[in-house]
């Protein structure tokens, strides 16, 4: 199945919009400054709709079927969220509107900051980061500035367990630090001896994911936090896996100094085929002055007759702006809606059932697949996608074969510490029937791997395209279907 | 046991680079083992002529579809020639790692540094130990 | 209400399968001292009540649905055809993840490929990536590319003061951990002044097109001089202006970045937006972020896939030059649908409407006593007007008449106190422009009294 490129269905002279005429006296255009032509497609509105509807049908999505992509929290995205973000008072609000004229938006942001701080036990939250990776970056920059402000200039290292998300080491480098990798012990926890050995006055802090990327809650978390704090370092928690923690434990209370939230994971804002995300950061007392800005503050308390007055504020020693304006506000509206509807009990249930679902799948699959570190997991777990008696079959083949069963593959080859890793995260919104169907499919595939391995090696068979030639894509780069004419480049 | 080529006349590093020494001129590239591990090489981010090499320090990188790997200087020196052919045909490293797939030629600063490198037999053993 | 579907019976069956009695038993690894803290959140609320609360919050804002708006400064109230939103609301697009598995993501991949092609066309560049968070972060990433392209041998960049002040702030945030020297924007500097700062340590020079004041600067000879020094020329462009004006490619730019919000994305109080990033073939392999390439599947069918992956954070880890993973995928789709609908003629028409209406407004305002429009350079759809009184006071008077006035430039540029940046788009009818002129005429008197 293929769909022509939008340019390929273009017909000269066609247009997909109707526009008004010029209702003011015209001004001559500065001809010497103008471009020669504009190579955009010429198509009708219906052609556009059909084209993109066809394309949409080539995608797997949460709305279409099970999406157990580990570490990505592909939960159901409630439809009300979309309607709320599109309310004219939000969608058509200019970012540089005077604070007095944006009180509704600012009140919403203030409330969301407060709720997020409460959920994770932090003193303050900034909604500025545009994505989780930016939240991480902000967190590490805050740690950097905190040490520098105290004249503590020899701290150049950030410790990262080897089970960390790939973004963590990249973030550390971007912020000008050196990443020092820590090994895991036989239980999948941070190796405490190794940690103690590297902790000295050159350590600026540690980045750790809780639960870690094996889906396991760090058994000695308090000791890890204390060890790093004792050498003067600060603790960063990657909050990508908050879906396993809400109502169960507050990272701020465990001693973490800073953490980012992924609104597009935990708080149901859609993933959008790769963004937009939103990655607010929460901090303890020490780092409040360093938050990225602007943040929303209450300028005047409310009275019985008057609501409070909110305003945008740049924290005193802020690491600065992370993007223009104030974060991905449209995502803030969706997360606010989600927390409001769920309320205290609903938020707790999210974690309870996310963890129940993951453990149910783990137990149901443990006899068919090898599960290293097999203990109670959080919201996800990792199994090995290969079999001793079917040596040619790899995790990738199992993944591709799952597509034929209408299921999106789990996360492949991550974390790196498990060979042939398949990382499975069902989320709380999947029902028992879906989970059972997934278990059936995984068991059938395990049988197929022995009986008919070619069926897996050549999978998928039912998708719009078969496996693609990535070498060709990388070597003969074709990134644009319209060669740029001589005059334009 | 792997079947990677490890020519006798070359010196090797534990980062999987090879070095040919001719007078004070060094030629280096990636070993057969390295190209095999990387698989289809699609791009080499070549350094500039005149760049200084510091032993054990990365000075350029190669990319395959799924991985990227730094190339480290086997000994210190100054680059006198860069294999520009790799710009268009990075796969030369796959097809002829010790020949047309060479990466740079350079003036060796301290020939003494080469003494610490592995010989062919030791390197072959090192490759096998990682399988 | 919650979105958890489990019945009590199902929960019991699942717990039994796991071999525990309650869900709480699954959390034994969490330190008992910190387990199950109180959670001070409001009680659950129905969808009806929640929608009512959000509607009230939305209506408490002064927005372009109710007011005539003349504020731009990096975010613009443009027309968005209804069809854009309907495509974005396809669950197959907005509830999918990053297209790591190409066999079940061809929809997203092809749409991004088409988006990349359109951005290349607009900018006159060879290739574009799948997007960055916004125009500002796109510029910050361009700095990294320039530093890498000059092999980290140069550590100075020059930023024009006429680049959006917040974009320049973001560049500083991103690069505070390195030893980067940022010059050029400390005071007033025009293009020749910036060129004087170029030396052998300069990795790039960045200018805005049009600049923050809406003006088209004279770039003759600029690229040549920057390139002669071995540096890169980066342009921060408004994509709507590119429908009309010369491509940055023609002007010699090496990297073109900018804010894609004008292309079918609502202002939404500042985000989510779309940072576009395009460059010449020579720098393609240094692009951060995701890039989609064309290839074939096993049967030889055309297919799309994310390419240049090894540079990304999940593979390159601490050696990656950026940690970006999520981009603004859905916003890139919005721009792609918007540009398809507008097409060759429509986009040019919108740009011309902006141009004519802005110039009409400029003449009307310039004719007012005490107001003076800067017409020293050609401009697109924004212009600077000097006001007889503080901009804030004037805007307060305008809002009373249902008009959101221009941006107060004195906030960022001390020498532009009492100067207002006025934006006009195809959404501003002649009557609105005339009403703005009338309100401005009366404003000084009203403020004095």
Write the pLDDT tens digit of every residue in C399-440. 999 999 999 999 999 999 999 999 999 999 999 999 999 999
- Mean pLDDT taken over chain A: 96
More confident residue, C398 or A414: C398
Secondary structure class of C255 (helix, strand, coil): strand
Q: Residues of B near A (CB-CB distance < 8 A)?
A: 40, 42-43, 63, 65-66, 90-91
Q: Do C343 and A15 touch (CB under 8 A)?
A: yes
CA distance A48 to A205: 51
ipTM surpassing 0.90 = yes
- What is the 8-class DSSP label of residue C151? T
Query: In terms of domains, do C255 and C383 share one?
Result: no
Interval C204-232 mean pLDDT = 97
Query: In terms of domains, do C241 and C268 share one?
Result: yes
pLDDT tens digits for range A238-276: 999 999 999 999 999 999 999 999 999 999 999 999 999
Q: Is A74 within 8 Å of A298 (Cβ atoms)?
A: no
pLDDT tens digits for range C95-116: 999 999 999 999 999 999 999 9
**Domain end among C284, C309, C338:** C338
Count of C-beta atoms within a 10 Å radius of residue A311: 18
Interval C240-256 mean pLDDT = 98
Q: Find the residue in B nearest to C153 (Cα).
A: B51
Residue C308's pLDDT is: 85
CA distance C210 to C26: 58
Q: In chain A, pLDDT over 70 holds for what percent of residues? A: 100
pLDDT tens digits for range B22-32: 999 999 999 99
Residue C305's pLDDT is: 96
Question: Above 60 in pLDDT, residue B15?
Answer: yes
CA distance C236 to C253: 10
Which residues does residue A206 pair with via DSSP β-bridges, in sequence order?
A159, A235
* Cis, bond preceding C272 (omega within 30 deg of 0): yes
Cα angle, residue C312 at apex, residues C307 and C313 outer, rounded to 5°: 155
Q: What are the b/e assignments for C105-143, b being 16+ CB within 10 Å?
A: bbbbbbbbbbbbbbbbbbbbbbbbbbbbbbbbbbbbbbb
Residue A181's pLDDT is: 94
Interval A36-49 mean pLDDT = 97
Q: Can you read off the two tokens belonging to residue A160?
A: 């990262």
CA distance C406 to C69: 8
Beta strands of A321-401 (E only): which ranges?
A: 381-384
Q: Class assignment of domain B11-108?
A: mainly beta
Cβ contacts (< 8 Å) between C41 and chain A: which residues?
115, 118-119, 339, 343-344, 347
* Cis, bond preceding A415 (omega within 30 deg of 0): yes
Number of domains in chain C: 2
Per DSSP bridges, beta strands A234-239 and A258-261 are parallel
Domain membership of residue C400 as a residue range: 68-79+344-448
Residue C1's pLDDT is: 54
Q: Do A488 and C342 touch (CB under 8 A)?
A: no
Cα angle, residue A269 at apex, residues A274 and A116 outer, rounded to 5°: 125
**Domain end among C338, C371, C401:** C338
Cβ contacts (< 8 Å) between C316 and chain B: which residues?
68
pLDDT tens digits for range A331-350: 999 999 999 999 999 999 99
Torsion of Cα atoms, A249 then A251 then A254 then A259, to 10°: 170
Residue A164's pLDDT is: 81
Question: Above 90 in pLDDT, residue C325?
Answer: no
Count of C-beta atoms within a 10 Å radius of residue C200: 10
Interval A83-87 mean pLDDT = 98
Task: Give me the CATH number covering residue C360.
Answer: 3.90.1150.10
Within an 8 Å CB–CB cutoff, is residue A22 touching chain B?
no
Q: Do A479 and C125 touch (CB under 8 A)?
A: no
Question: Per-residue DSSP letters for C369-394?
Answer: TT-EE--SS-BSSEEEEE-SS-HHHH
User: Among A228-237, A461-470, B44-53, C307-316, which is the least confidently predicted range?
Assistant: C307-316
Q: Is A212 within 8 Å of A162 (Cβ atoms)?
A: no
Asked if the structure places residue C42 within a domain, the reply is no
Long-range interactions of A383-387: CB distance < 8 A, separation 24+: A383/A421, A383/A422, A383/A424, A384/A418, A384/A419, A384/A420, A384/A421, A384/A422, A385/A412, A385/A420, A385/A421, A385/A422, A386/A419, A386/A420, A387/A446, A387/A449, A387/A450
Residue A225's pLDDT is: 98
Q: Is C4 within 8 Å of A75 (Cβ atoms)?
A: no
Asked if the structure places residue C53 within a domain, the reply is no
CA distance A318 to C175: 14
Asked if the structure places residue C176 within a domain, the reply is yes
Asked if the structure places residue C24 within a domain, the reply is no
Question: Above 80 in pLDDT, residue C381?
Answer: yes
Q: Find the residue in A nearest to C167 (Cα).
A: A324
Query: In terms of domains, do C173 and C159 share one?
Result: yes
Question: Above 90 in pLDDT, residue A166?
Answer: no
Q: Do A470 and B65 touch (CB under 8 A)?
A: yes
Question: Above 60 in pLDDT, residue B1?
Answer: no
Query: In terms of domains, do C135 and C272 share one?
Result: yes
Question: Could you tell me which of C59, C375, C447, C446 has the C-alpha nearest to residue C422?
Answer: C375
Cβ contacts (< 8 Å) between C31 and chain A: which residues?
221-222, 249, 254
Q: Return all residues near A488 (Cβ < 8 A) that are at least 6 apart.
A: A35, A36, C121, C124, C247, C249, C250
**Domain end among C338, C372, C406:** C338
Query: In terms of domains, do C73 and C105 share one?
Result: no
Domain boundaries, chain A: 81-341
More confident residue, B131 or C226: C226
Asked if the structure places residue C251 within a domain, the reply is yes
CA distance C112 to B76: 45
pLDDT tens digits for range C171-202: 999 999 999 999 999 999 999 999 999 999 99
Per DSSP bridges, beta strands A178-182 and A203-209 are unpaired
Question: Above 90 in pLDDT, residue A186?
Answer: no
Question: Above 70 in pLDDT, residue B2?
Answer: no
Query: In terms of domains, do C72 and C159 share one?
Result: no
First to last CA, chain A: 34
User: Among A155-159, A171-175, A484-488, C237-241, which is the least confidently predicted range?
Assistant: A484-488
Q: Do A475 and B42 touch (CB under 8 A)?
A: yes
pLDDT tens digits for range C8-50: 999 999 999 999 999 999 999 999 999 999 999 999 999 999 9
CA distance A406 to A21: 50
- The CATH topology of domain A81-341 is 3.40.640
Query: In terms of domains, do C187 and C318 share one?
Result: yes
Question: Could you tell me which of C152, C282, C177, C313 has the C-alpha nearest to residue B59?
Answer: C152
Q: Is C120 within 8 Å of C242 (Cβ atoms)?
A: no
Query: In terms of domains, do C198 and C321 share one?
Result: yes
Alpha carbon distances (Å) from A379 to A75, A242, C354: 12, 9, 51
Residue C358's pLDDT is: 98
pLDDT tens digits for range B30-58: 999 999 988 889 999 999 999 999 999 99
Task: Give me the CATH number covering residue C138.
Answer: 3.40.640.10
Question: Above 80 in pLDDT, residue C314?
Answer: no
Q: Can you read off the two tokens belonging to residue C133?
A: 């968070």
Q: Is A45 within 8 Å of A19 (Cβ atoms)?
A: no
CA distance A115 to A75: 20
Dihedral sign, Cα of residue A357, residue A363, residue A365, residue A369: positive
Query: In terms of domains, do C238 and C277 share one?
Result: yes
Residue A427's pLDDT is: 98
Question: Could you tell me which of C386, C387, C396, C392 has the C-alpha nearest to residue C411?
Answer: C392
Cβ contacts (< 8 Å) between C309 and chain B: which residues?
65-66
Q: Which of A412, A416, A474 to mutate to test the interface with B (most CBs of B within 10 A)?
A: A474
Query: In terms of domains, do C102 and C192 share one?
Result: yes
Q: Return all residues near C345 (Cβ < 8 A) that are at least 6 apart.
A: A15, A42
């Amino acid at each position: 199945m293929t769909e022509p490129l939008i340019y390929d269905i273009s017909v000269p002279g066609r247009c997909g919009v109707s526009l008004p005429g010029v209702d003011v006296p015209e001004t001559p255009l500065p001809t010497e400054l103008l471009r020669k032509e504009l190579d955009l497609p010429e198509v009708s509105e219906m052609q556009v709709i059909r084209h993109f509807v066809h394309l949409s049908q080539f995608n797997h999505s949460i709305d279409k079927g099970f999406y157990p992509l580990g570490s990505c929290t592909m939960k159901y995205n409630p439809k009300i969220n979309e309607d709320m973000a599109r309310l004219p008072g939000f969608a058509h609000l200019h970012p540089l509107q005077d604070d007095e004229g944006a009180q509704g938006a600012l009140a919403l942001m203030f409330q969301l900051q407060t709720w997020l701080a409460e959920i994770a036990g932090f003193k303050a939250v900034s909604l500025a980061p545009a994505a989780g990776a930016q939240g991480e970056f902000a967190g590490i920059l805050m740690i950097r500035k905190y040490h520098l402000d105290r004249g503590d200039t020899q701290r150049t290292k950030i410790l990262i367990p080897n089970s960390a998300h790939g973004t963590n080491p990249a973030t550390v480098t971007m912020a000008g630090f050196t990443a020092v990798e820590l090994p895991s012990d036989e239980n999948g926890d941070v190796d405490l001896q190794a940690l103690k050995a590297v902790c000295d006055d050159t350590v600026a802090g540690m980045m750790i994911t809780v639960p870690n990327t094996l889906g396991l809650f760090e058994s000695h978390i308090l000791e890890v936090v204390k060890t790093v704090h004792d050498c003067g370092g600060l603790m960063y928690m990657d909050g990508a896996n908050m879906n396993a923690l809400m109502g169960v434990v507050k990272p701020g209370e465990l001693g973490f100094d800073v953490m980012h939230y992924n609104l597009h994971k935990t708080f149901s804002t859609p993933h959008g085929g790769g963004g937009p995300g939103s990655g607010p950061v929460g901090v303890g007392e020490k780092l409040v002055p360093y938050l990225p800005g602007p943040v929303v503050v209450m300028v005047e308390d409310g009275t019985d007759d008057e609501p409070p007055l909110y305003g945008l504020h740049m924290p005193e020693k802020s690491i600065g702006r992370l993007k223009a304006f104030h974060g991905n506000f449209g995502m803030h509206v969706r997360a606010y809606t989600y927390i409001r509807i769920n309320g205290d009990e609903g938020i707790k249930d999210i974690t309870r059932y996310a963890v129940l679902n993951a453990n149910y799948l783990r137990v149901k699959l443990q006899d068919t697949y090898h599960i290293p570190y097999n203990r109670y997991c959080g919201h996800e777990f990792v199994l090995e996608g290969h079999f001793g008696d079917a040596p040619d079959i790899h995790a990738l083949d199992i993944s591709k074969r799952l597509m034929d069963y209408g299921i999106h593959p789990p996360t492949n080859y991550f974390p790196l510490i498990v060979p042939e890793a398949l990382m499975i995260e069902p989320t709380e919104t999947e029902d028992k029937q879906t989970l059972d169907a997934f278990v059936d499919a995984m068991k059938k595939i395990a049988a197929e791997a022995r009986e008919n391995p070619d069926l897996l090696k050549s999978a998928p068979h039912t998708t719009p395209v078969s496996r693609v030639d990535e070498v060709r894509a990388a070597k003969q780069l074709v990134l644009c279907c319209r060669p740029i004419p001589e005059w334009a480049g | 046991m792997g079947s990677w080529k490890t020519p006798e006349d070359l010196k090797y590093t534990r980062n999987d680079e090879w070095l040919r020494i001719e007078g004070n001129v060094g030629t280096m590239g990636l070993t057969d083992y390295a190209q095999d591990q990387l698989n289809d090489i699609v791009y080499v981010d070549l350094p500039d002529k005149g760049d200084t090499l510091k032993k054990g320090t990365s000075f350029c990188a190669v990319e395959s579809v799924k991985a990227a790997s730094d190339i480290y200087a086997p000994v210190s020196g100054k680059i006198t020639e860069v294999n520009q052919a790799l710009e268009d045909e990075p796969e030369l490293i796959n097809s002829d790692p010790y020949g047309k797939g060479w990466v740079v030629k350079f003036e060796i600063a301290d020939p003494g540094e080469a003494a610490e490198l592995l010989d062919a037999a030791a390197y072959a053993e090192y490759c096998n130990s990682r399988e | 209400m919650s979105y958890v579907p489990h019945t009590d019976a199902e929960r019991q069956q699942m717990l039994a399968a796991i071999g525990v009695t309650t869900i709480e038993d699954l959390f034994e690894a969490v330190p008992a001292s910190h387990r199950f803290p109180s959670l001070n959140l409001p009680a659950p609320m129905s969808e009806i009540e929640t929608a009512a609360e959000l509607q009230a919050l939305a209506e408490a804002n002064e927005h372009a649905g109710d007011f005539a708006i003349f504020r731009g400064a990096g975010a613009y109230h443009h027309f968005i055809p209804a069809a854009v939103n309907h495509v974005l609301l396809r669950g197959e697009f907005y509830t999918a993840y990053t297209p790591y598995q190409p066999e079940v993501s061809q929809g997203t991949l092809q749409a991004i490929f088409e988006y990349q092609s359109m951005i290349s066309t607009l900018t006159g560049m060879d290739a574009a990536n799948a997007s960055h968070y916004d125009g500002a972060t796109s510029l910050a990433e361009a700095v990294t590319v320039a530093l890498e392209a000059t092999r980290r041998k140069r550590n100075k960049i020059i930023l024009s003061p006429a680049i959006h002040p917040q974009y320049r702030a973001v560049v500083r945030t991103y690069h505070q951990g390195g030893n980067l020297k940022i010059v050029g924007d400390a005071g007033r500097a025009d293009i020749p002044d910036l060129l004087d700062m170029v030396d052998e340590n300069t990795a790039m020079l960045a200018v805005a097109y049009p600049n923050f004041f809406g003006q088209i600067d004279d770039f003759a000879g600029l690229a040549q001089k920057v390139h002669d020094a071995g540096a890169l020329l980066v342009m921060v462009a408004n994509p709507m202006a590119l429908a009309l004006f010369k491509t940055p490619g023609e002007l010699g730019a090496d990297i073109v970045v900018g804010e894609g919000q004008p292309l079918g994305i609502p202002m939404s109080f500042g985000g989510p937006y779309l940072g576009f990033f395009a460059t010449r073939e020579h720098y393609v392999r240094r692009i951060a972020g995701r890039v989609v390439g064309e290839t074939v599947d096993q049967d030889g069918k055309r297919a799309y896939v994310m390419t240049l992956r090894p540079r990304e954070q999940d593979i390159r880890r601490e050696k990656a030059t950026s940690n970006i993973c999520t981009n603004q995928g859905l916003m890139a789709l919005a721009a792609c649908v918007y540009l398809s609908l507008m097409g060759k003629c429509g986009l040019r028409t919108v740009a011309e409407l902006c141009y004519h209406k802005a110039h009409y407004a400029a003449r009307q305002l310039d004719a007012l006593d005490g107001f003076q429009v800067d017409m020293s350079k050609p401009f697109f759809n924004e212009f600077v007007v000097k006001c007889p009184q503080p901009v804030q006071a004037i805007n307060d008077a305008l809002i009373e008449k249902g008009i959101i006035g221009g941006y107060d430039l004195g906030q960022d540029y001390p020498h532009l106190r009492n100067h207002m940046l006025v934006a006009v788009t195809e959404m501003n009818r002649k009557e609105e422009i005339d009403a703005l002129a009338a309100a401005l005429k009366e404003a000084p008197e009203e403020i004095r009294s």
